[in-house]
Amino acid sequence: MKQSKTITALTAWESTAESHHDTACIVEGWELVTIELDDHVSKHLLGTIVSDYKHRWKAGDYVFTSPIQELCLDTGLVKTLNTVYCLSGDGEEVFPTLEEAYSMRITGQPLRMIRDIESLGIKFVGGINDD
């Protein structure tokens, strides 16, 4: 199992967030979610919305994105098929199992929280707690 990696925000990210306020969703408390299945790797973003230029989410909502198409850690910009996200603050790259990624998607919780919950013997199946 791969270990999580901390990603420290660069100074450029602050100016990126300011200049993309009207063209990107700004997220904080974020994780780059890397899912590896056989020879296929899929990257997604999980984070808390600060602002959404398309007005789909309110501040404080969580988002688990469709697969990332482009990622630039120098500017803190993440592009999916239909949206640009701007990373605010530090984050992590995490490597969940497919089941853990599904739990992250349905609950909006970071991987460490999912693993803490599962260590108590609680599993998430089909979007509900299955004990």
Look at residue 131 and tell me whether its pLDDT is greater than 80: no
72-86: per-residue pLDDT in tens?
999 999 999 999 999
Task: Over range 29-45, report the average pLDDT.
Answer: 95
Question: To the nearest whole number, what is the mean pLDDT of the chain?
Answer: 89
- Return the DSSP state at 3: P
Which of these, 17, 42, 43, 22, lies nearest to 32 by C-alpha position? 43
pLDDT at 123: 74
pLDDT at 23: 85
In the chain, where are the structural domains located?
5-95
pLDDT at 22: 81
Choice among 7-16, 20-29, 59-68, 88-97 with the minimum mean pLDDT? 7-16
- Beta-carbon contacts of 58 under 8 Å, excluding residues fewer than 6 positions away, are 49, 52
